[in-house]
Structure 1
Amino acid sequence: MKLVATDFDGTFCSYGGGVPEANLAAVKKWQEAGHKFGINTGRGISLIDMEIEKYEGLVPDFLICNNGAVVTDAERSILASLRFPQALTKGLLQLLREKRGDAPMLVVTERESLAIGGNLSDAALGLPDMPSTTLEKAIWRDDIVQVSLNCGTQENALATEAMVRASFPQLRGNINRGYLDLNLVEADKKNGVARLLQVTGWQVAPDDLFVIGDDRNDLPAIEAFHGYTVATAPDFMKTAAKKVYESVAQMMLENL
């Protein structure tokens, strides 16, 4: 059995566009051959399902969501989850309010994304208006797996991550373009793949494991599993990748 774990935004689906038909056709061939296909994303379950539901016949065998913090099977049963301790949630959200004022943020639970201070609008990602909550309510929740911010640029995202980690070293920042996702330090796309294999018991040889992504939050998995990237990725991703493909479809069909 072979396994593909692909990033979604910018890799499987182009920014500002849909999933190419070639990618959908390649997934069908891959699964018909008895192999596993899934999505390894910074999105939460609700936000990635919003996209998957647009494509009839696209049925991933698994999801790795929230940069590895949540792993599900094909039916969306949660197989693994890394929740913030409630005291950490409270301290983090209070710090972000102090340092960023009323700038919008998302608090993401295992199954839903909730906006504080307005929505993180992004036409390229097609992010919808999400249900809202207040900071006063969110700080008492014990089911948060991610807090997401739009920092505008990767430089600002890196600076914000450094500020947060100075107070909360148990957190890490997973960065895609100008977005900063704050997760527990054990949550990244590399650990998400490893956690998937552990909880499912799937036996996949190293040469039969294919990971692909296009930006900084994909780097841990690309480096750990000798993974791949796409032609639209920045140069640092192409340097880290084993090979650059024009599309996910090309990678899958070449290795079928």
Structure 2
Amino acid sequence: MIKLIASDMDGTLINSSHEISSRNLNAIRRAQESGIEFAIATGRDYSMVKPFLDKYQLKCEAIVMNGAEYRDCKGEVIESIGIEKDKVKDIIVEILKESSIVDIYTSEGIFTTKYSKEDFESTVNRIKEFNKEMTKDNIIKLLTEIREKMIEFDIEDIDKIISSEMVFYKIITSHKDKETIRDLKEKINKIGGLAVASTSEYDIEVNDIQAQKGLILAKVAKMKGIEKDEVMVLGDSFNDYSMFTEFKNSYAMKNAMDEIKKIATYITETNNNDGVGKAIEKVLNMQ
């Protein structure tokens, strides 16, 4: 019997219009009413999750920043895992050899390098490649909204940021060349003690090795007295990988990356065709 459901957001729970469909929302509410707990599991930080929860009046726990934080229904931090300070500098040094784009998720907000016009356009194009049903205008609107919540910094100030007392949760970079990203992943992995994931072939997300969606979800489930076979997970990209290896009741979206589909126990519909809602309905009908 399923007692806890954890779903990724982008590409999974949210459709290309950047909305939670009524079928998905109704299925989640049905599950909660039947006593099943629901949690969001996302690479976003909590400030980018809460507006969605408020908009849809969805009360649930949340794994954010790929597992660097676990928040309860009130938004209080249950678990928190940062990257070791000496490794933060090593990661950023490697990134800046190849890319001018760096987003640093910290306890004081998200710091981001200033985007050139070319950086912005290439980011829009990369998002479009993996979200073909999203219009370019919607992508530009979304990216602009996200960047408005970030704190821009000059690369020359990076040492000042690293030497601060902030906790560093996640570091992201992207590049238009897949090979560059593959090479950079290898170099960052060699630093050791890090979880290096992606949402596409053009980006890298770096967390502490313990800050992974699947690991923190397993830890919280254990705290709640919930067995692993009583947990259901849904996702579509590389940063969902640990959930699929930790829990056997795993559902990949039809739009998921091939690597995720290969290790999933089940395949559900796409994020644009109520895949989350249909998977939850299936489980509810079996219980």
Normalising by structure 2, what TM-score?
A: 0.79
Q: Cα gap change, 1:22/1:73 in structure 2, threshold over 3 Å: closer, same or farther?
A: same
The whole-number CA distance in structure 2 between the counterparts of 1:110 and 1:74 is 19
2:9–2:41 contact (8 Å) kept in structure 1? yes
Higher helix proportion, which one? 2
Query: Cα offset for 1:155?
Result: 5.0
Match of 1:8 in 2: 9
Match of 2:39 in 1: 38
Q: Secondary structure at the match of 1:12?
A: coil
Q: Secondary structure at the match of 2:30?
A: helix
Match of 2:58 in 1: 58
Report which stretch shifted further, 176-185 or 81-90. Answer: 81-90
Match of 1:205 in 2: 227
CA RMSD of aligned residues (A): 2.3
2:229–2:247 contact (8 Å) kept in structure 1? no
Amino acid at match of 1:248: V
Q: Cα gap change, 1:239/1:146 in structure 2, threshold over 3 Å: closer, same or farther?
A: same
Deviations 1:53-85 (A, max 9, x none): 3x332222x111111111111111111111122
Q: Of the candidates 205, 209, 230, which is equivalent to residue 185 of structure 1?
A: 209
Amino acid at match of 1:67: N
Query: Cα offset for 1:237?
Result: 2.1
2:104–2:171 contact (8 Å) kept in structure 1? yes
Match of 1:245 in 2: 268
Q: Secondary structure at the match of 1:4?
A: strand
Structure 2 gaps of 5+ residues are 125-138, 270-274
Matched, 1:215 2:237: yes
Q: Cα gap change, 1:70/1:115 in structure 2, threshold over 3 Å: closer, same or farther?
A: same
Amino acid at match of 2:210: E
Normalising by structure 1, what TM-score?
A: 0.87
* Pairs within 5 Å for 1:149-188: 149-152=173-176, 155-166=179-190, 168-177=191-200, 178-188=202-212
Amino acid at match of 2:81: L
The whole-number CA distance in structure 2 between the counterparts of 1:132 and 1:16 is 27
The whole-number CA distance in structure 2 between the counterparts of 1:124 and 1:229 is 27
Q: Secondary structure at the match of 1:176?
A: coil
1:16–1:126 contact (8 Å) kept in structure 2? no
The whole-number CA distance in structure 2 between the counterparts of 1:124 and 1:25 is 29
The whole-number CA distance in structure 1 between the counterparts of 2:20 and 2:178 is 25
Deviations 1:30-53 (A, max 9, x none): 111111101111111122224333
2:66–2:212 contact (8 Å) kept in structure 1? yes
Deviations 1:130-154 (A, max 9, x none): 2223413321134111101123466
Match of 2:114 in 1: 117
Deviations 1:126-181 (A, max 9, x none): 23222223413321134111101123466543322112222x11222111113211
Amino acid at match of 2:13: F
The whole-number CA distance in structure 2 between the counterparts of 1:126 and 1:39 is 19
Percent of aligned positions with the same letter in both sequences? 22
Amino acid at match of 1:57: Q
Matched, 1:143 2:167: yes
Q: Cα gap change, 1:51/1:179 in structure 2, threshold over 3 Å: closer, same or farther?
A: farther
Match of 1:85 in 2: 84
1:154–1:175 contact (8 Å) kept in structure 2? no
Match of 1:100 in 2: 98
Q: Secondary structure at the match of 1:232?
A: coil
The whole-number CA distance in structure 1 between the counterparts of 2:75 and 2:176 is 32
Amino acid at match of 1:159: D
2:94–2:187 contact (8 Å) kept in structure 1? no
1:26–1:253 contact (8 Å) kept in structure 2? yes
Match of 2:74 in 1: 75
1:80–1:195 contact (8 Å) kept in structure 2? no
Amino acid at match of 1:135: I
Q: Which has the larger radius of gyration?
A: 2
The whole-number CA distance in structure 2 between the counterparts of 1:249 and 1:115 is 35
Structure 1 gaps of 5+ residues are none
The whole-number CA distance in structure 1 between the counterparts of 2:265 and 2:102 is 35
The whole-number CA distance in structure 1 between the counterparts of 2:229 and 2:140 is 34
The whole-number CA distance in structure 2 between the counterparts of 1:251 and 1:113 is 33
**Matched length:** 249
